[in-house]
Amino acid sequence: MESDNTPIKKTNYIFITGGVLSSLGKGITSSSLGLLLKQRGYSVTIMKLDPYINVDPGTMNPFQHGEVYVTDDGAETDLDLGHYERFIDQSLTKRNNTTTGQIYFSVIQKERRGHYLGKTVQVIPHITDEIKAQIKTFDGQFDFVLIEIGGTVGDIESLPFLEASRQILLKERHNALSIHLTYVPYIKSSGELKTKPTQHSVKMLMEFGIMPDILVCRTENKISKDERSKIALFCNVDEESVIEGIDVDHTIYEVPLQYAKSHFDEIVLNKLNMPLNTLELKTWEKFVHKIKFPKNSVTIGLVGKYTKYRDSYKSILEAFIHAGSINDTEVKVEMVDAENITKDNAHEFLSELDGILVGPGFGSRGIEGKINAIKYVRENGIPFFGICLGMQCAVIEFSRNIMGLTDAHSSEFDKESANCVIDLMEEQKKIKNKGGTMRLGAYPCTVLEGTKAFKAYGQKDISERHRHRYELNNEYRDRLVENGMTLSGLSPDGKLVEIIELKDHPWFVGVQFHPELKSRAVYGTPLFINFVKAVLQFHNNKEKY
């Protein structure tokens, strides 16, 4: 009798590395290739190997690392996992993101338990074996596992990951390949594309024992046949495997279409001796067309505290692109620094906007500005969407200005307040560690019929992802309802408030969860779609007068 663990199929491993400089777009390249392979009928998953020593990005500054992306199973991961999910329309897990910190932590724990039987624990083979074990966790479950190695080739931090990939490439030579993403700069003064940085990057990769099978060359200008031949010759790659990764004009969702024109996925499949199958991209092409040629346009203000670094709100910005496409509307997002908003100048910042979203965050900085912004849009009938801390600020504002609790606050920011309408969950009060100890991952929610939330979802039972420690204080629930707030979403046991609304307002909704994390290209996510629809209606009504 066969074991349940018997592999169901032969898995192909594709490693994506980057050279010359960082932020070349390995995540978008991995996501695009994943989409193309999926649209040819193959099963795909994507992993991110991150070289930092943090166990996860959960405690890292958004200005340094961008947003923390949370999966259904509660893993705090790199924002590239958001790209993966949005492109391949698949929920990933903690197994899809591995950091150096996690690898060393696991090996050290094993050593303490005597797992290595007194051997000297070393980078090779123990660290590299642990990395390979993480990569092999999907073996037999998918046709393709794409592995993006973070950082730039030559960084000392990523050497163990490169060595582990070298070993897999050697052992699995018939079903593994290496893709190297490099940069081909254009020197304006001489009018030339320079291939030397790519040559040096490939040389460095080869020093680690990895011979790239495919080169993806990021560039602002087209690469000529002569330049392509030169790159192929000096980098020991066949000419057809030098792929041009030219900058797209409008949206990252054009990238898969560009790669399809370059036959990127065909080259991968041919090298791995896999059938080409039919590539279906009509739905994706329609999605991109609506982004590039929208019929309408609105401006939404994103009020937050990390507005100087847009990647801090990456999933929110992408969710607006998805919802905009579905509503045939360009959503222009104007970043508004909450610290600058006072009661006296809120009009100056917000009056010209068609809607505002008050974003998530941690810490007291900018809180009063968010509350001032919410008061202004509530009183002036401007569509409002509050996410996580944004919802909590809406409850504080309502408590202060409608219920008359002038000292209302969250115990996160003012423990001395007599009216902490937002308070720490009981189970959180005993926890001292910061990392991975919040309410994390997907939780069910029951939506009240007849509400804006129910109209958006079209169903009573939903599931959304969370990342927070504080909740609406249940002691104030009855008073909030008596004063006109609708508690339109609750946990199935009724103990936690998940969604709040105001009835007599064009669109005023706050959610404790993060709906942006489940927004996918083509399909979007219900609340964002509904919010953009309300914003467009508000904009059109303004235009009439």
Catalytic positions, please?
A: 388, 514, 516
**What gap in Å lies between CA 109 and CA 326, rounded to an integer?**
48
Task: Look at residue 101 and give its three-state secondary structure.
Answer: helix
**What gap in Å lies between CA 421 and CA 417, rounded to an integer?**
9
CB 162 within 8 A of CB 17: yes
**What gap in Å lies between CA 509 and CA 60, rounded to an integer?**
29
**What gap in Å lies between CA 192 and CA 52, rounded to an integer?**
36
CB 474 within 8 A of CB 108: no
What is the longest distance spanned by two Cα atoms in the chain?
80
**What gap in Å lies between CA 336 and CA 357, rounded to an integer?**
10
The arrangement of strands across the sheet holding 439-447 comes to 329-337, 296-304, 355-358, 384-387, 508-511, 497-502, 485-490, 439-447, 461-468
Q: How far is CA 451 from CA 96, 393, 486, in A?
A: 36, 21, 8
CB 179 within 8 A of CB 213: yes
Residue type, 139: D
**What gap in Å lies between CA 91 and CA 82, rounded to an integer?**
9
